[in-house]
Structure 1
Amino acid sequence: MLEQLINADIQLFTFLNGLHAPWLDPVMWWISARTPWIPFYVFLVVMMILRLRWKRGLIAIVSIVLVVLIADRFTSGFMKPYFERPRPSHEKLIRDKVHVLKDRNGNEYRGGAYGFASSHSANAFGMAMFMFLLFRGRWRWMFVWAFVVAYSRIYLGVHYPGDIIVGGLVGILAAWGVFRGYQLVSPSIAKEDT
Protein backbone atom coordinates (compact mmCIF):
# COMPACT_ATOMS: atom_id res chain seq x y z
CA MET A 1 0.00 0.00 0.00
CA LEU A 2 2.74 2.45 0.99
CA GLU A 3 4.73 1.55 -2.12
CA GLN A 4 1.67 2.28 -4.30
CA LEU A 5 1.24 5.70 -2.64
CA ILE A 6 4.90 6.52 -3.17
CA ASN A 7 4.72 5.46 -6.85
CA ALA A 8 1.57 7.53 -7.38
CA ASP A 9 3.27 10.49 -5.67
CA ILE A 10 6.28 10.17 -7.99
CA GLN A 11 4.08 9.90 -11.09
CA LEU A 12 2.00 12.94 -10.10
CA PHE A 13 5.17 14.86 -9.29
CA THR A 14 6.68 13.98 -12.68
CA PHE A 15 3.56 15.24 -14.44
CA LEU A 16 3.25 18.48 -12.42
CA ASN A 17 6.97 19.26 -12.47
CA GLY A 18 6.93 18.68 -16.23
CA LEU A 19 4.42 21.53 -16.68
CA HIS A 20 7.09 24.19 -16.93
CA ALA A 21 7.84 27.01 -19.31
CA PRO A 22 10.80 29.41 -19.51
CA TRP A 23 8.58 32.44 -18.82
CA LEU A 24 7.14 30.73 -15.71
CA ASP A 25 10.52 29.87 -14.14
CA PRO A 26 11.23 33.34 -12.67
CA VAL A 27 7.60 33.69 -11.55
CA MET A 28 7.71 30.42 -9.60
CA TRP A 29 11.13 31.26 -8.18
CA TRP A 30 9.71 34.59 -6.93
CA ILE A 31 6.56 32.95 -5.50
CA SER A 32 8.65 30.39 -3.62
CA ALA A 33 11.01 32.98 -2.11
CA ARG A 34 10.26 34.48 1.29
CA THR A 35 11.37 38.12 0.97
CA PRO A 36 9.01 39.15 -1.87
CA TRP A 37 6.10 38.38 0.47
CA ILE A 38 7.15 40.87 3.17
CA PRO A 39 4.73 43.58 1.89
CA PHE A 40 1.94 40.99 1.94
CA TYR A 41 2.76 40.07 5.55
CA VAL A 42 2.77 43.77 6.48
CA PHE A 43 -0.67 44.05 4.84
CA LEU A 44 -1.92 41.15 7.00
CA VAL A 45 -0.58 42.81 10.16
CA VAL A 46 -2.24 46.12 9.28
CA MET A 47 -5.55 44.38 8.50
CA MET A 48 -5.51 42.53 11.82
CA ILE A 49 -4.88 45.72 13.79
CA LEU A 50 -7.47 47.74 11.83
CA ARG A 51 -10.21 45.13 12.01
CA LEU A 52 -9.59 43.80 15.50
CA ARG A 53 -8.42 46.93 17.28
CA TRP A 54 -5.04 47.29 18.88
CA LYS A 55 -4.92 44.64 21.65
CA ARG A 56 -6.86 41.89 19.88
CA GLY A 57 -4.87 42.65 16.73
CA LEU A 58 -1.59 42.17 18.59
CA ILE A 59 -2.84 38.89 20.07
CA ALA A 60 -3.82 37.79 16.53
CA ILE A 61 -0.36 38.73 15.22
CA VAL A 62 1.35 36.77 18.00
CA SER A 63 -1.03 33.87 17.25
CA ILE A 64 -0.23 33.76 13.53
CA VAL A 65 3.49 33.89 14.32
CA LEU A 66 2.92 30.97 16.70
CA VAL A 67 1.11 29.05 13.92
CA VAL A 68 4.10 29.49 11.60
CA LEU A 69 6.59 28.55 14.34
CA ILE A 70 4.68 25.38 15.23
CA ALA A 71 4.11 24.35 11.60
CA ASP A 72 7.67 25.13 10.55
CA ARG A 73 9.34 23.46 13.53
CA PHE A 74 7.15 20.37 13.27
CA THR A 75 7.81 19.86 9.56
CA SER A 76 11.48 20.95 9.42
CA GLY A 77 12.59 20.11 12.94
CA PHE A 78 10.78 16.80 13.41
CA MET A 79 9.30 15.31 10.23
CA LYS A 80 12.17 15.86 7.77
CA PRO A 81 14.88 14.37 10.00
CA TYR A 82 12.58 11.59 11.23
CA PHE A 83 11.28 10.36 7.86
CA GLU A 84 14.41 11.23 5.85
CA ARG A 85 12.54 11.14 2.55
CA PRO A 86 14.78 12.65 -0.13
CA ARG A 87 13.46 15.55 -2.13
CA PRO A 88 12.71 14.69 -5.77
CA SER A 89 15.72 16.81 -6.73
CA HIS A 90 17.90 14.50 -4.60
CA GLU A 91 16.17 11.18 -5.36
CA LYS A 92 18.71 9.07 -7.27
CA LEU A 93 16.13 7.37 -9.50
CA ILE A 94 14.58 10.58 -10.86
CA ARG A 95 16.91 13.49 -10.04
CA ASP A 96 18.18 13.77 -13.63
CA LYS A 97 14.60 14.07 -14.94
CA VAL A 98 13.55 16.76 -12.45
CA HIS A 99 13.12 20.30 -13.74
CA VAL A 100 15.14 22.52 -11.38
CA LEU A 101 16.11 26.18 -11.60
CA LYS A 102 19.47 27.86 -11.21
CA ASP A 103 20.20 30.50 -8.62
CA ARG A 104 21.97 33.81 -9.33
CA ASN A 105 25.35 32.08 -9.24
CA GLY A 106 24.31 29.51 -11.83
CA ASN A 107 24.03 26.68 -9.30
CA GLU A 108 21.08 24.35 -9.52
CA TYR A 109 18.63 24.90 -6.67
CA ARG A 110 17.79 21.51 -5.18
CA GLY A 111 16.89 22.42 -1.58
CA GLY A 112 18.06 20.51 1.46
CA ALA A 113 18.35 16.73 1.46
CA TYR A 114 14.90 15.89 2.85
CA GLY A 115 11.48 17.15 1.85
CA PHE A 116 8.77 15.36 3.83
CA ALA A 117 6.84 17.40 4.75
CA SER A 118 6.90 20.82 3.11
CA SER A 119 7.38 23.68 5.57
CA HIS A 120 6.47 26.20 2.84
CA SER A 121 3.12 24.44 2.47
CA ALA A 122 2.66 24.12 6.25
CA ASN A 123 3.36 27.82 6.80
CA ALA A 124 1.20 29.05 3.92
CA PHE A 125 -1.79 26.84 4.71
CA GLY A 126 -1.39 27.57 8.43
CA MET A 127 -1.57 31.31 7.76
CA ALA A 128 -4.50 30.87 5.37
CA MET A 129 -6.45 28.76 7.85
CA PHE A 130 -5.81 31.13 10.75
CA MET A 131 -6.98 34.15 8.73
CA PHE A 132 -9.99 32.16 7.51
CA LEU A 133 -10.98 31.31 11.09
CA LEU A 134 -10.13 34.76 12.43
CA PHE A 135 -12.30 36.59 9.91
CA ARG A 136 -15.08 33.97 9.90
CA GLY A 137 -14.57 32.61 6.41
CA ARG A 138 -14.18 35.93 4.61
CA TRP A 139 -10.53 35.36 3.73
CA ARG A 140 -11.01 32.24 1.58
CA TRP A 141 -8.80 33.72 -1.13
CA MET A 142 -5.77 33.06 1.08
CA PHE A 143 -6.16 29.35 0.32
CA VAL A 144 -5.54 30.17 -3.35
CA TRP A 145 -2.37 32.00 -2.31
CA ALA A 146 -1.31 29.01 -0.15
CA PHE A 147 -1.98 26.60 -3.02
CA VAL A 148 0.14 28.66 -5.44
CA VAL A 149 3.02 28.87 -2.92
CA ALA A 150 2.78 25.11 -2.35
CA TYR A 151 2.64 24.33 -6.08
CA SER A 152 5.74 26.48 -6.66
CA ARG A 153 7.68 23.96 -4.57
CA ILE A 154 6.65 21.12 -6.91
CA TYR A 155 7.47 23.31 -9.91
CA LEU A 156 10.97 23.95 -8.51
CA GLY A 157 11.47 20.21 -8.12
CA VAL A 158 11.98 20.22 -4.35
CA HIS A 159 8.74 18.60 -3.13
CA TYR A 160 6.46 15.75 -4.05
CA PRO A 161 2.69 16.38 -3.97
CA GLY A 162 2.50 14.20 -0.84
CA ASP A 163 5.00 16.51 0.90
CA ILE A 164 2.75 19.44 0.01
CA ILE A 165 -0.49 17.78 1.15
CA VAL A 166 0.90 16.60 4.49
CA GLY A 167 2.61 19.96 5.08
CA GLY A 168 -0.67 21.74 4.35
CA LEU A 169 -2.50 19.51 6.82
CA VAL A 170 0.13 20.21 9.50
CA GLY A 171 -0.34 23.95 8.95
CA ILE A 172 -4.14 23.70 9.05
CA LEU A 173 -4.03 21.70 12.30
CA ALA A 174 -1.55 24.14 13.85
CA ALA A 175 -3.81 27.06 12.89
CA TRP A 176 -6.88 25.35 14.28
CA GLY A 177 -5.15 24.63 17.60
CA VAL A 178 -3.70 28.13 17.97
CA PHE A 179 -7.04 29.68 16.99
CA ARG A 180 -8.74 27.76 19.81
CA GLY A 181 -6.24 29.35 22.19
CA TYR A 182 -6.87 32.75 20.62
CA GLN A 183 -10.60 32.30 21.23
CA LEU A 184 -9.93 31.67 24.92
CA VAL A 185 -7.78 34.79 25.32
CA SER A 186 -9.67 37.09 22.96
CA PRO A 187 -12.92 37.71 24.96
CA SER A 188 -11.07 39.20 27.94
CA ILE A 189 -9.00 41.37 25.59
CA ALA A 190 -12.16 42.51 23.77
CA LYS A 191 -13.62 43.78 27.07
CA GLU A 192 -10.47 45.83 27.70
CA ASP A 193 -10.70 47.40 24.20
CA THR A 194 -14.21 48.80 24.78
Structure 2
Amino acid sequence: MGILDIDYQLFRFFNRTVAHPFLDWFMPRISSSTVLLTILFGGFALYIVWKRGRRIAWIHVLCGILLFAATDLFTFRVLKAHIPRNRPANSAYFDNTGQHLFLSDSFFRRGTMGGASFPSNHASNTFGQAVFWALLYPKAALYLYGFAVVVAWSRIYLGAHYPLDVSVGALVGAVWGMGVYLLYGFGRYKKQNRSS
Protein backbone atom coordinates (compact mmCIF):
# COMPACT_ATOMS: atom_id res chain seq x y z
CA MET A 1 0.00 0.00 0.00
CA GLY A 2 1.51 3.33 -1.11
CA ILE A 3 1.41 6.72 0.57
CA LEU A 4 -1.37 7.93 -1.72
CA ASP A 5 -3.54 4.89 -0.89
CA ILE A 6 -3.09 5.71 2.81
CA ASP A 7 -3.90 9.34 2.04
CA TYR A 8 -7.17 8.37 0.32
CA GLN A 9 -8.19 6.07 3.17
CA LEU A 10 -7.45 8.72 5.78
CA PHE A 11 -9.40 11.22 3.71
CA ARG A 12 -12.46 8.97 3.75
CA PHE A 13 -12.12 8.47 7.51
CA PHE A 14 -11.81 12.17 8.40
CA ASN A 15 -14.31 13.23 5.75
CA ARG A 16 -17.13 10.73 6.33
CA THR A 17 -16.52 8.07 8.96
CA VAL A 18 -16.48 10.60 11.79
CA ALA A 19 -19.25 12.73 10.25
CA HIS A 20 -21.81 14.23 12.62
CA PRO A 21 -24.53 16.91 12.25
CA PHE A 22 -22.74 19.15 14.75
CA LEU A 23 -19.51 18.89 12.73
CA ASP A 24 -21.46 19.64 9.54
CA TRP A 25 -22.43 22.95 11.17
CA PHE A 26 -19.17 23.65 13.03
CA MET A 27 -16.48 22.84 10.45
CA PRO A 28 -17.43 25.46 7.83
CA ARG A 29 -17.36 28.11 10.55
CA ILE A 30 -13.97 27.17 12.01
CA SER A 31 -12.59 26.96 8.46
CA SER A 32 -13.70 30.50 7.62
CA SER A 33 -10.84 32.92 6.95
CA THR A 34 -12.69 35.59 8.94
CA VAL A 35 -12.86 33.31 11.98
CA LEU A 36 -9.19 32.42 11.61
CA LEU A 37 -8.11 36.04 11.56
CA THR A 38 -10.53 37.11 14.30
CA ILE A 39 -10.10 34.29 16.81
CA LEU A 40 -6.52 33.16 16.33
CA PHE A 41 -4.74 36.30 15.29
CA GLY A 42 -6.98 39.13 16.51
CA GLY A 43 -7.66 37.41 19.82
CA PHE A 44 -3.99 37.00 20.54
CA ALA A 45 -3.21 40.57 19.51
CA LEU A 46 -5.78 41.84 22.04
CA TYR A 47 -4.42 39.49 24.69
CA ILE A 48 -0.89 40.76 24.17
CA VAL A 49 -1.92 44.42 24.26
CA TRP A 50 -3.75 43.80 27.54
CA LYS A 51 -1.08 41.60 29.11
CA ARG A 52 2.23 42.96 27.90
CA GLY A 53 1.72 46.62 27.01
CA ARG A 54 1.48 48.39 23.70
CA ARG A 55 5.08 48.55 22.48
CA ILE A 56 5.89 44.85 22.78
CA ALA A 57 2.39 44.02 21.53
CA TRP A 58 2.85 45.92 18.30
CA ILE A 59 6.19 44.24 17.65
CA HIS A 60 4.58 40.82 18.12
CA VAL A 61 1.58 41.76 16.00
CA LEU A 62 3.83 43.05 13.22
CA CYS A 63 5.80 39.77 13.30
CA GLY A 64 2.51 37.85 13.15
CA ILE A 65 1.30 39.86 10.14
CA LEU A 66 4.60 39.36 8.30
CA LEU A 67 4.49 35.65 9.15
CA PHE A 68 0.93 35.32 7.85
CA ALA A 69 1.90 37.02 4.59
CA ALA A 70 4.99 34.82 4.23
CA THR A 71 3.20 31.50 4.83
CA ASP A 72 0.26 32.44 2.64
CA LEU A 73 2.32 33.69 -0.29
CA PHE A 74 4.92 30.92 -0.12
CA THR A 75 2.30 28.17 0.05
CA PHE A 76 0.08 29.64 -2.66
CA ARG A 77 2.53 31.28 -5.06
CA VAL A 78 5.47 28.89 -4.80
CA LEU A 79 4.34 25.42 -3.70
CA LYS A 80 0.83 25.24 -5.14
CA ALA A 81 1.99 26.85 -8.36
CA HIS A 82 4.57 24.11 -8.92
CA ILE A 83 2.85 21.04 -7.44
CA PRO A 84 -0.31 20.42 -9.47
CA ARG A 85 -2.53 18.23 -7.32
CA ASN A 86 -6.29 18.41 -7.79
CA ARG A 87 -8.60 18.88 -4.85
CA PRO A 88 -10.38 15.70 -3.72
CA ALA A 89 -13.61 16.63 -5.49
CA ASN A 90 -11.74 16.76 -8.81
CA SER A 91 -9.48 13.77 -8.20
CA ALA A 92 -9.50 10.23 -9.47
CA TYR A 93 -7.13 7.40 -8.77
CA PHE A 94 -6.50 3.77 -9.63
CA ASP A 95 -6.76 1.16 -6.91
CA ASN A 96 -4.42 -1.85 -6.68
CA THR A 97 -6.56 -3.84 -9.13
CA GLY A 98 -6.26 -1.15 -11.79
CA GLN A 99 -9.89 -0.03 -11.42
CA HIS A 100 -10.55 3.66 -11.89
CA LEU A 101 -12.24 5.00 -8.77
CA PHE A 102 -13.70 8.33 -7.71
CA LEU A 103 -14.30 9.50 -4.16
CA SER A 104 -18.02 9.25 -4.81
CA ASP A 105 -19.00 8.45 -1.22
CA SER A 106 -17.32 11.57 0.14
CA PHE A 107 -18.72 14.92 1.19
CA PHE A 108 -17.69 18.05 -0.69
CA ARG A 109 -18.92 21.41 0.48
CA ARG A 110 -19.65 24.00 -2.17
CA GLY A 111 -16.60 26.17 -2.83
CA THR A 112 -14.04 23.42 -2.14
CA MET A 113 -13.60 22.26 -5.72
CA GLY A 114 -11.52 24.95 -7.41
CA GLY A 115 -7.79 25.55 -7.38
CA ALA A 116 -4.83 23.41 -6.40
CA SER A 117 -4.83 21.20 -3.33
CA PHE A 118 -1.21 20.74 -2.27
CA PRO A 119 -0.37 21.97 0.30
CA SER A 120 -3.13 23.54 2.39
CA ASN A 121 -2.91 27.31 2.91
CA HIS A 122 -5.20 27.08 5.93
CA ALA A 123 -2.89 24.57 7.61
CA SER A 124 0.22 26.54 6.70
CA ASN A 125 -1.19 29.81 8.03
CA THR A 126 -2.63 28.45 11.26
CA PHE A 127 0.35 26.27 12.19
CA GLY A 128 2.72 29.12 11.39
CA GLN A 129 0.84 31.37 13.77
CA ALA A 130 0.46 28.60 16.37
CA VAL A 131 4.19 27.86 16.47
CA PHE A 132 5.18 31.53 16.59
CA TRP A 133 2.73 32.52 19.34
CA ALA A 134 3.28 29.31 21.33
CA LEU A 135 7.02 29.97 21.43
CA LEU A 136 6.33 33.47 22.71
CA TYR A 137 3.61 32.36 25.14
CA PRO A 138 4.11 28.69 26.08
CA LYS A 139 1.13 28.69 28.47
CA ALA A 140 -1.17 29.19 25.48
CA ALA A 141 0.40 26.39 23.42
CA LEU A 142 -2.41 23.87 23.99
CA TYR A 143 -5.05 26.33 22.80
CA LEU A 144 -2.98 27.39 19.79
CA TYR A 145 -2.06 23.92 18.60
CA GLY A 146 -5.55 22.60 19.31
CA PHE A 147 -7.04 25.38 17.21
CA ALA A 148 -4.62 24.71 14.36
CA VAL A 149 -5.36 20.95 14.41
CA VAL A 150 -9.12 21.53 14.28
CA VAL A 151 -8.73 23.97 11.37
CA ALA A 152 -6.58 21.43 9.50
CA TRP A 153 -9.16 18.70 10.15
CA SER A 154 -11.93 21.00 8.92
CA ARG A 155 -10.24 21.24 5.52
CA ILE A 156 -10.42 17.45 5.16
CA TYR A 157 -13.91 17.24 6.61
CA LEU A 158 -15.20 19.78 4.08
CA GLY A 159 -13.54 17.93 1.20
CA ALA A 160 -11.11 20.74 0.35
CA HIS A 161 -7.87 18.81 1.04
CA TYR A 162 -6.36 15.40 1.56
CA PRO A 163 -4.58 14.62 4.87
CA LEU A 164 -1.21 14.82 3.10
CA ASP A 165 -2.06 18.35 1.95
CA VAL A 166 -2.75 19.57 5.46
CA SER A 167 0.20 17.67 6.96
CA VAL A 168 2.68 19.27 4.57
CA GLY A 169 0.95 22.64 4.98
CA ALA A 170 1.29 22.34 8.75
CA LEU A 171 4.99 21.47 8.40
CA VAL A 172 5.61 24.43 6.08
CA GLY A 173 3.82 26.77 8.48
CA ALA A 174 5.70 25.40 11.48
CA VAL A 175 9.05 26.01 9.76
CA TRP A 176 8.05 29.59 8.91
CA GLY A 177 6.75 30.16 12.44
CA MET A 178 10.00 28.93 13.95
CA GLY A 179 12.00 31.02 11.49
CA VAL A 180 10.16 34.24 12.29
CA TYR A 181 10.47 33.53 16.02
CA LEU A 182 14.23 33.01 15.67
CA LEU A 183 14.59 36.23 13.65
CA TYR A 184 12.57 38.09 16.28
CA GLY A 185 14.78 36.67 19.04
CA PHE A 186 17.95 37.51 17.10
CA GLY A 187 16.74 41.09 16.62
CA ARG A 188 16.04 41.49 20.32
CA TYR A 189 19.43 39.97 21.21
CA LYS A 190 21.28 42.40 18.93
CA LYS A 191 19.30 45.35 20.32
CA GLN A 192 20.11 44.37 23.91
CA ASN A 193 23.81 44.02 23.07
CA ARG A 194 23.87 47.46 21.47
CA SER A 195 22.21 49.05 24.49
CA SER A 196 24.49 47.34 27.06
TM-score above 0.5: yes
Task: Look up the match of 2:22.
Answer: 23
Task: Look up the match of 1:100.
Answer: 108
Task: Look up the match of 1:139.
Answer: 140
* C-alpha separation in 1, matches of 2:187 and 2:55: 11
State which drifts further: 179-188 or 56-65: 179-188
* C-alpha separation in 1, matches of 2:36 and 2:75: 21
Q: CA deviation at 1:79?
A: 1.1
Whether the 8 Å contact between 1:122 and 1:168 is mirrored in structure 2 is yes
Q: CA deviation at 1:77?
A: 1.0
Give the aligned residue type for 1:98.
S
Give the aligned residue type for 2:155.
R
**Under a length normalisation based on structure 2, what TM-score does the superposition of the two structures give?**
0.85
Alignment map for 1:1-194 (pairs within 5 Å): 4-18=2-16, 19-40=18-39, 41-92=41-92, 93-101=101-109, 108-135=110-137, 137-140=138-141, 141-187=143-189, 188=191
* C-alpha separation in 1, matches of 2:69 and 2:81: 17
Q: CA deviation at 1:59?
A: 1.2
Whether the 8 Å contact between 1:83 and 1:116 is mirrored in structure 2 is yes
Q: CA deviation at 1:110?
A: 2.2
* C-alpha separation in 2, matches of 1:53 and 1:84: 45
- Aligned-residue RMSD, C-alpha: 2.0
| 1:19-45 residue CA offsets vs partner (Å, 9 max, x unmatched) | 212332121111111123444232211
* C-alpha separation in 1, matches of 2:81 and 2:105: 25
Give the aligned residue type for 1:94.
F
Whether the 8 Å contact between 2:89 and 2:159 is mirrored in structure 1 is yes
Cα distance, 1:73–1:38 mapped onto 2, change above 3 Å: closer
* C-alpha separation in 2, matches of 1:46 and 1:52: 10
Whether the 8 Å contact between 1:13 and 1:154 is mirrored in structure 2 is yes
Give the aligned residue type for 1:133.
L
Q: CA deviation at 1:49?
A: 2.3
Gaps of at least 5 residues in structure 2 are 93-100
Task: Look up the match of 1:105.
Answer: none
Give the aligned residue type for 2:146.
V
State which drifts further: 51-60 or 81-90: 51-60
**Under a length normalisation based on structure 1, what TM-score does the superposition of the two structures give?**
0.85
Give the count of matched residue pairs.
182
